[in-house]
Amino acid sequence: MSAMRTYSVAVVILGGALAVALLSLLPAEHALHVPGYVVALLGKYLCYALLALSVDLVWGYVGILSLGHGAFFAIGGYAMGMYLMRQIGARGVYGNATLPDFMVFLNWQELPWYWGGFNHFGFALLVMALAPGLLAFVFGYLAFRSRVTGVYLSIITQALTYALMLAFFRNDMGFGGNNGLTDFKDFLGFSLQSDATRAGLLVASAALLSLFYVVCRMLVGARFGKVLVAIRDAESRARFLGYRVERYKVAVFVFSAVMAGLAGALYVPQVGIINPGEFAPANSIEAVIWVAVGGRGTLVGAIIGAILVNLGKTIFTGALPELWLFALGGLFILVTLFLPKGVVGLWDRIMARRVPAPPLVAAPVRQPEAGE
Amino acid sequence: MRKFLVTCALVLFAALAANPAAADPVEDILTGFASSKYDDIEKSIDALAASGDAAAPAILDALSAGDLQVSSDKKLYIKGDDGSLKEARSGADATGEIPPGLKAVKVNNRVRRAIDAAMGQLTLLSPDPAKRLSAAASQFHAPDPAQLPAVESAIAKESDPAVKRAFEQARAAIILVKSDAPDADKIAAIGLLAARGDEDAKSLLDAATASGSPAVADAARGALKGIERSLAWWSAAQNVYYGLSLGSVLLLAAIGLAITFGVMGVINMAHGEMVMLGAYTTYVVQQAVMVAAPGLTDYALVLAVPAAFLVSGAAGIAIERSIIRFLYGRPLETLLATFGLSLVLQQAMRSIFGPTNLQVDNPSWMSGSMDLGGLAITYNRFWIILFAVAIFALLTLVLRKTALGLQMRAVTQNRRMAASMGIRTGWVDSLTFGLGSGVAGIAGVALSQIDNVSPNLGQSYIIDSFMVVVFGGVGNLWGTLVGAMSLGVANKLLEPVAGAVLGKIVVLVLLVLFIQRRPRGLFPVKGRAVES
């Protein structure tokens, strides 16, 4: 993909978000005014898009199907949530200046040590990026060094996020248990209730998404990216050619986790809550389907897929809530069966109509070997 | 002289006949109820209980209900609900006119307490062994030194060895709380309680360690230590039993997954929904039997097993033919498509049966429990363990002894070679998938007995089932068995130490670490497979 097209995608995202943000600041009676909830919704979609981008980087380019990326997203979100909790200060229900409400409720006397420093945004920002990165490093180092691949890897990533979900549900973990962290007041001194803050968060999400899109594009276009694709398509061959496969995998897995963590961090102030439900394995799998719908291994497809599916979810759950799971499930099946390259692949095929279309159902590429 | 003797005898007889009460101590006692003093009534109650007279329970019952009436000539009557009068002692209907001056015997709280104690004592002498046993147990749990003579006389009369042991334990409990019992007796009682060795004995001994006599306190402490040790063993054994029962549930849920994964390299994320389908089939079958043949409701479960196998198996074959067949060689895509399918199936069940939990009844032969030493063996879990083992054995037989099993193993080991030998691999795939799904349906029948039947039923077991398969090693039923049982037992043994949730997390983390060490599980399939 040309640099031209790369930057135009970034410009479209950023420009669109800026336009919406500005329109939302118009007076409410203006014809072009965008209501606040739409701004928050769009901001949420962009955070999901960033999560999808991080999944696409590891799945589309290295073939690591992570069913636990929601864990990195949620950890980043919790780091942001802890910062926002500290910002509440004495305005909580119990009026305790240092302890968040749920700790007062649980009769805790002092802040646990791991909550220290979260009143500084710089420290919180560091944790939002480093905590998911560190987890991804430890997990990835262990898994990739032992050459855990394929469905085995998928299942243990799923176990990872499941275990984290159970852990965060516990009250004595000090993260608010079942209810999670909520009732946030302001972010960097700006009230989270104001339209201007919402608009600012939307633009920030768009900027971060564009930035990471461009970085990912450069990454996969470089020699590094070629090695990643080589690992995806023939891991043993890449290894025999002398590439330290596990190092590449760990590096890209960590980078992807940081992206997911930052996406989660920006997600939390826009939806106003983070709870252990974000760790649910189903959420991680849903992120994978956004990528599949948009088009695996295309980066831009991940963004399109995330926005399309979530738009569909918003519309469906509003109009026909009981049909949503049918639609989502059907989407999983139809996309994997008939659209292996997703919406982007379909688009490319329509654009190049003169080239005879490949059969709808992909012929079996290769029969699975024993022990797979 | 002879005439004199006859006269004397006649006079004596006449005297006896004229005043039979004088010869019958119970009648004497009963006259006490005519007193207006509560003290006298209480004494009469105690005396009546000590007599063990057959009419005593009825009289005491009537007294506590306020139905006991006394006439001015101190005769007792029991008033029935319909206003009829019965003579208290004989139970015969009172004939003739209403006795003069009839009034109810007075009862207050102190009298009621006396009645309760007396009833406890009376049941010690009841002709029904079950009643005597429960009387002994109630004495044991709330020992009352005042009852010691009653218990001792009961021991002397007792012939049933089990009841006699219970009485002796009750006596030991009483002696232990009786402050003026001699030390030697107390130490003997401690020995008896130590032999009983359960939580109740422990709490009695706990109290005895505070005894004023050092010898008694020492003996109690020693006995306590022994009991604690044996209780710890029993509770560990109980946890192992729970673990085995959890393990057999996991085995049932995972074994079908192991088959499909092993043979086809396909992870079926909708496997949990096959379990759910089985549970819903159980519900439907039970409802149908209840309507069609209410007498056979207890056996609906037996009918549900083949029904669930067929429903889930057919669903499995349909899934394989319509979706999975097109995705061979792309295991990750299969995973996604089947996950989508699981969402659809869950929502379908929610739409048809509603989102709430459905009630599947335990048949009578599966409810209740039995005690095995310090173990409480619940029947439903016991049956599930047996059932899981039976299904495991059956599947092993199918895989080892049938043509289908032979072909399945051939395809597992080398798909292309098997195809070259004329095995229709596509057909084997379909049947394998059907078999695996059918077994999942059977797991659903078992799960419906211990868990809620809801659309989310499968979801709660699917991750654990994956863990079992991955832990045990793919394509190896024994691996699945060992994996399921060790995961189940590890979970339940960690639970009391770390708490249920933390225990589960620890197990998951250990598993993730284990996979790093042995990426192909406990029992990897040996072969020339290079990589996936």
Instruction: Count chain A–chain B contacts defined by CB atoms under 8 A.
Output: 177
Q: Identify which has the larger pLDDT, B21 or A209.
A: A209
pLDDT at site A241: 93
A37 contacts: CB under 8 Å, gap ≥ 6: none
Inter-chain CB proximity A154 and B520 less than 8 Å:
no
Question: Looking at residues A55-75, what average pLDDT do you find?
Answer: 93
Inter-chain CB proximity A332 and B341 less than 8 Å:
yes
Q: Identify which has the larger pLDDT, B156 or A370.
A: B156
Amino acid B383 reads W
Residue of B nearest to A64 (CA): B332
Q: Which of residues 423-442 of B touch A (CB under 8 A)?
A: 425
Q: Which of B329, B327, B355, B353 is nearest to B340 (CA)?
A: B327
Instruction: Give the pLDDT band (50/70/90) at residue B531.
Output: very low
Question: Looking at residues B389-403, what average pLDDT do you find?
Answer: 90
Instruction: Give the pLDDT band (50/70/90) at residue B527.
Output: low
Taking residue B353's Cβ as centre, other Cβ atoms within 10 Å add up to: 16
One-character DSSP codes across B204-222: HHHHHTT-SSHHHHHHHHH
Question: Looking at residues B269-276, what average pLDDT do you find?
Answer: 91
Residue B246 pLDDT > 80: yes
Answer for the pair B331, B265: CB distance below 8 angstroms, yes or no. yes
Q: Which of A237-241, B171-175, B256-260, B380-384 has the highest mean pLDDT?
A: A237-241
Q: Per-residue pLDDT tens for B328-366?
A: 777 778 888 888 899 899 999 988 988 888 888 888 777
Averaged pLDDT score across all residues of chain B: 80
Residue of A nearest to B517 (CA): A146
Please state, in angstroms and rounded to a whole number, the distance separating the CA atoms of residues B265 and A149.
13
Residue B518 pLDDT > 60: yes
Inter-chain CB proximity A154 and B415 less than 8 Å:
no
| CA distance to partner chain B, nearest, from residue A233 (Å) | 11
- Enumerate the residues of chain A whose CB falls inside 8 A of the CB of residue B491: none
List C-alpha distances in Å: B278 to A59, A273, B475, B502.
34, 38, 23, 30
Answer for the pair B462, B269: CB distance below 8 angstroms, yes or no. yes
Q: Identify which has the larger pLDDT, A332 or B528.
A: A332
Residue A357 pLDDT > 60: no
Q: Which of B165, B164, B90, B153 is nearest to B121 (CA)?
A: B153
Element spanning B77, H or E: strand B76-79
Question: Looking at residues A110-121, what average pLDDT do you find?
Answer: 86
Please state, in angstroms and rounded to a whole number, the distance separating the CA atoms of residues B1 and A359.
135
pLDDT at site A71: 95
pLDDT at site A371: 39
**Long-range contacts of B417-425, Cβ-Cβ distance < 8 Å, separation of 24 or more:** B425/A367
A360 contacts: CB under 8 Å, gap ≥ 6: A338
**Long-range contacts of A159-162, Cβ-Cβ distance < 8 Å, separation of 24 or more:** A159/A68, A159/B463, A159/B466, A159/B467, A159/B508, A159/B511, A159/B512, A160/A68, A160/A71, A160/B508, A160/B512, A161/A67, A161/A68, A161/A70, A161/A71, A161/A74, A161/A279, A161/A280, A161/A281, A161/A284, A162/A279, A162/A281, A162/B463, A162/B508
ipTM score: 0.80
Q: Select from B324, B343, B425, B507 the residue whose CB has the most chain A CBs within 10 Å, as the one to mutate to test that interface.
A: B343
pLDDT at site A370: 40
Q: Per-residue pLDDT tens for A301-341?
A: 999 999 999 998 898 888 888 888 888 888 888 888 888 88
Residue A368 pLDDT > 50: no
Taking residue B28's Cβ as centre, other Cβ atoms within 10 Å add up to: 14
Instruction: Give the pLDDT band (50/70/90) at residue A76.
Output: very high
Question: Looking at residues B453-481, what average pLDDT do you find?
Answer: 83
Looking at the DSSP bridge assignments, the partners of residue B76 are B70
Give the lowest-confidence range in A152-161, B110-119, B382-391.
Answer: B110-119
pLDDT at site B150: 74
Angle of CA points B435, B436, B437, to nearest 5°: 90
Inter-chain CB proximity A151 and B515 less than 8 Å:
no
pLDDT at site B6: 59
Q: Identify which has the larger pLDDT, A281 or B113.
A: A281
The token duo for B371 is 């005690």
pLDDT at site A363: 46
Query: Which residue matches tokens 């007396």?
Result: B118
Give the lowest-confidence range in A4-18, A243-257, B8-22, B219-233.
Answer: B8-22
Inter-chain CB proximity B340 and A332 less than 8 Å:
yes
Please state, in angstroms and rounded to a whole number, the distance separating the CA atoms of residues A289 and A284.
9
Residue of B nearest to A149 (CA): B532
Averaged pLDDT score across all residues of chain A: 87
Residue A285 pLDDT > 80: yes
- In the three-class reduction of DSSP (H, G, I as helix; E, B as strand; rest coil), residue B236 is classed as helix
Query: Which residue matches tokens 């409480």?
Result: B376
Q: Identify which has the larger pLDDT, A203 or B477.
A: A203
Please state, in angstroms and rounded to a whole number, the distance separating the CA atoms of residues B178 and A185.
66
Amino acid A145 reads R
Instruction: Give the pLDDT band (50/70/90) at residue B48.
Output: confident
Query: Which residue matches tokens 């992206």?
Result: A259
Instruction: Give the pLDDT band (50/70/90) at residue A367.
Output: very low
CA dihedral A206, A212, A213, A214 (to 10 degrees): 110
Residue A350 pLDDT > 70: yes
Inter-chain CB proximity A156 and B511 less than 8 Å:
yes
Residue B122 pLDDT > 80: no
pLDDT at site A141: 92
Inter-chain CB proximity A368 and B329 less than 8 Å:
yes
Q: Per-residue pLDDT tens for B189-223?
A: 787 777 777 777 777 777 777 766 777 777 778 88
Residue B438 pLDDT > 90: yes
Please state, in angstroms and rounded to a whole number, the distance separating the CA atoms of residues B465 and B480.
9
Residue B532 pLDDT > 60: no
| Residue B6, Cβ density class (10 Å: 0-12 exposed, 13-18 middle, ≥19 buried) | exposed
Residue of B nearest to A59 (CA): B332
Sign of CA dihedral B209, B212, B216, B218: positive
Please state, in angstroms and rounded to a whole number, the distance separating the CA atoms of residues B318 and B217.
72
Q: What is the 3-state secondary structure (H, E, C) of A1-59?
A: CCHHHHHHHHHHHHHHHHHHHHHHCCCCCCCCCCCHHHHHHHHHHHHHHHHHHHHHHHH
Q: Per-residue pLDDT tens for A238-277?
A: 999 999 999 999 999 999 999 999 999 999 999 999 999 9
List C-alpha distances in Å: B361 to B93, B247, B280, B298.
48, 22, 13, 9
- Enumerate the residues of chain B whose CB falls inside 8 A of the CB of residue A145: 516
Please state, in angstroms and rounded to a whole number, the distance separating the CA atoms of residues B204 and B191.
12
Q: Which of B449, B457, B431, B456 is nearest to B304 (CA)?
A: B449
Please state, in angstroms and rounded to a whole number, the distance separating the CA atoms of residues B270 and A367.
22
Residue A361 pLDDT > 70: no
Element spanning B52, H or E: none
Residue of A nearest to B341 (CA): A329
Sheet containing B68-70: which strands, arranged edge to edge?
Answer: B85-87, B76-79, B68-70, B103-104
Q: Per-residue pLDDT tens for B58-79?
A: 787 788 777 888 887 777 888 8
- Enumerate the residues of chain A whose CB falls inside 8 A of the CB of residue B423: none
The token duo for B263 is 């043979």
Amino acid B29 reads I
Q: Which of residues 319-378 of B touch A (CB under 8 A)?
A: 323, 326-337, 339-348, 350-351
Please state, in angstroms and rounded to a whole number, the distance separating the CA atoms of residues A124 and A116.
10
Give the lowest-confidence range in A3-12, A157-166, A213-222.
Answer: A3-12
- Enumerate the residues of chain A whose CB falls inside 8 A of the CB of residue B344: 325-326, 329-330, 333
pLDDT at site B11: 53
B351, B463, B519 ranked by CB distance to A147: nearest: B519
Backbone torsions φ then ψ of B93, nearest 5 degrees: -65, 135
pLDDT at site B23: 53
Residue B8 pLDDT > 80: no
pLDDT at site B175: 79
- Enumerate the residues of chain A whose CB falls inside 8 A of the CB of residue B412: 370
pTM beyond 0.80: no
Answer for the pair B462, B271: CB distance below 8 angstroms, yes or no. yes
Looking at the DSSP bridge assignments, the partners of residue B87 are B77
Q: Which of residues 211-250 of A touch B (CB under 8 A)?
A: 235-236
Taking residue A122's Cβ as centre, other Cβ atoms within 10 Å add up to: 7
Taking residue A240's Cβ as centre, other Cβ atoms within 10 Å add up to: 10
The token duo for B470 is 């991955």
Q: Identify which has the larger pLDDT, B412 or A203.
A: A203
pLDDT at site A2: 65
Please state, in angstroms and rounded to a whole number, the distance separating the CA atoms of residues B392 and B376.
25
Answer for the pair B460, B291: CB distance below 8 angstroms, yes or no. no
The token duo for B21 is 């009460």
pLDDT at site A356: 55
CA dihedral B522, B525, B526, B532 (to 10 degrees): -110
Instruction: Give the pLDDT band (50/70/90) at residue A25.
Output: confident
Q: Per-residue pLDDT tens for A80-102?
A: 999 998 888 878 888 787 788 88
Q: Identify which has the larger pLDDT, A219 or B56.
A: A219
* CA end-to-end distance (rounded Å), chain A: 34
B451 contacts: CB under 8 Å, gap ≥ 6: B457, B460
Quote the DSSP letter at residue B524.
P
